[in-house]
Structure 1
């Protein structure tokens, strides 16, 4: 990957939010879960389609905080418009493990 400046990094708006709704998304090409994430008053609630079915069920995600990029343009995923990119890492089997704070923080808090 090429080096970037700190100013380039600051252009990526990465925030914490709480999952308030989650549902299976069987129409997606790859197994996914539709999420509604609350990023607080400034950003509000945003939708995301996340390929996280290896480690998570919709029911288990409700109330969990996640980290997401909130300033990408919306992206059509099948019939669902994904507004934010929830971040995760691949485990040794290729499943996605969500990036999450280990202590609760206020929704909308920007990564620093």
Structure 2
């Protein structure tokens, strides 16, 4: 976090450059959650395709294989976790953004109160 303050306090940079650098940092830190959600959506599409193929399949061997694949997807859902403690998805980005906004507002209020 001190890197952000060093960037903002730098006198030789314009405000636009500071905003772009902070925006780049936010985007880079939120990419794992975005990619995890994109992967989850693609897996859901694969589940739909497998379900549709199960309905219209006439070969018993292929139908059994499709059932096994569908069962695998149901028992092993995609979840990107960090150290098996918490999952990474876009809701984590929203929570982090809410926290930053809340603390920023609190700091502004304290700065105004203590002047």
Q: Same fold (TM over 0.5)?
A: no
TM-score, L = length of structure 1:
0.20
TM-score, L = length of structure 2:
0.20
Higher Cα Rg, which structure: 2
Relative to total residues, which structure has the larger helix share, 1 or 2?
2
